[in-house]
Each structure stands twice: as structure tokens, then as C-alpha cells.
Amino acid sequence: MPPEAAPRAPFGERLAAVRAARGSLCVGIDPHPALLAAWGLEDSPAGLERFSLAVLDAVGPVSAALKPQVALYERHGARGLAVLETLLSRARDAGVLTIADAKRGDIGSTMQAYADAWLGEDRPLAADAVTLNPYLGFESLRPAIDLARETGRGVFVLALTSNAEGQLVQHVGGDSSVARSIAHAAAAENRRAGGAGHVGLVVGATIGDAAHRLGLDLAALNGPILAPGVGAQGAGTAELRAAFGDALPFVLPTSSRAILAAGPGAAELRAAAERTRDELA
């Protein structure tokens, strides 16, 4: 019989090691039809695969993680999901961390199935981490939170997004806001698990002082904070400092279009990622 594989190190530890070696930039892989066209590629599974693997090869070695936007693969049906499987497998072989931006959330056995799909051992879509939607209640995410801990993977829970509509839910309650309750629950989960946290939050890079106004103690999370909105959406170093304050060391600033627009040349893509990474350091 083949030797049993060694247990995977906890996600928080693996992420910390990669950040120490490559910096904190997370690059989103967002194969929008317009980007595919700009690269001279068809809006097809074949174009999707060429785009995805080119991004992996060019920027994977200089990024903390890659974040494929799952919806842009799902729109191509089964063949699109097959491309995502290939991307995740190739990234794993290359030692590049992946965060599947799937935003899943449900209850009971359905949530267990989502957890198994994105975080289970030997599952074709398993990533190093997955984004989750907590608006059926934070505890509804329990199957994914527990499985992530067991398999050395992570979750990123939507907490405070920068879209205007999000305020109608996330800001409700003022200093006892929904967003604050989510952040508090995530921090408590990390305290119970010990070590570097496997439960992260998604907090938009362009939220301004919203976290402070709503009383979120993001530094107490002891886990990673995924911060989309860098680059094309307007966030830079100043915006990150304003939004996160003393929690900034936990932040994974995320840029997609501003970097991807530099393609399809590998050298140009890598240079754009390195420039963004260095500007945010």
C-alpha cells in the first residue's frame, strides 16, 4: 500500500508562510467576456482555460493567493467547471494557494454538500479556501467551518462589503450591527481553534471608516481579511490604511482587472502584479 499522506498544515500557517515569501497580494482571476476579448480569446471553455492558466503561470509565483471567480466559470456549464478543476489542480501542484470565490451559503445537508465540494479531501473543486455567505446565520456555515479546520483549509465569510446595497443588511443595528456580529463570531471561532485562524472575513477595501463606525474590532479576528477593491475599484495604500488601521497586517489586498488588463503577455502580467504588490507593501 502507498504511504499515507502527511496531514496538511493549517490554512493560517500556510498562508502566513506564503505571505512572508511572496507578499500579501491576492490576484483575482476574473475571466469576464470583455477581458477574454481584449486578450484575443474566444468567450468559450477553450479561451477560459488559456486565460486562467496564463494568469496562474505569470502571477502565481509572486502572489500570496489566486482567487478565481466561480460564477465566470459556471456560465460555461460543465466544461467551464472542468476548466476550474484544472486551474485548481495546477495551482496545487505549483504550490500556489487558491481561494474559490463561490460565496456559498445554505442550511443543513445542503451546506454540508457545499462544504464537501469546496473543502473536502480529494474533491475535484477543492480549493485552499472558499468564500461563504453568512446571511442565513453564521452558525449555518458550521459544516464548512468545521471541515476547513479538519482538512487544513480556510473560509472567508462576507462581513462588510463595499457595495451600496450591502449596507441595507450589514450596517443594520449601528454599533450592534450585523457586520459586527459576524466579525465577533469569526473571531470567537478562531480563538476556539487556536493558532493562526482558519476563519477569515471579506471586507471591502473601499469601505472607508465603516468598520470603525460600526465597532468592528478586525484586529481581534486573528485570521486573514480578504479585501477586494484594489486597483480598478479605486483602493490603494491610503484607502487600506483608512479601512483597516491596526488590522492591516492581516489584510490580503485583492486586485483583479487592473492586473489582468496588462495581459496577455506573461512578462507584462507579472510586472503589473509585482508593481501592485510593492506599492501596497
Please give the positions annotated as active site: 103
Single-letter amino acid code for the residue at 185: A
Closest-CA residue to 255 (of 94, 95, 64): 64
Beta-carbon neighbour count of residue 250 at 10 Å? 21
Are 170 and 203 spatial neighbours (Cβ–Cβ below 8 Å)? no
CA 33 to CA 52: how far, in whole Å? 13
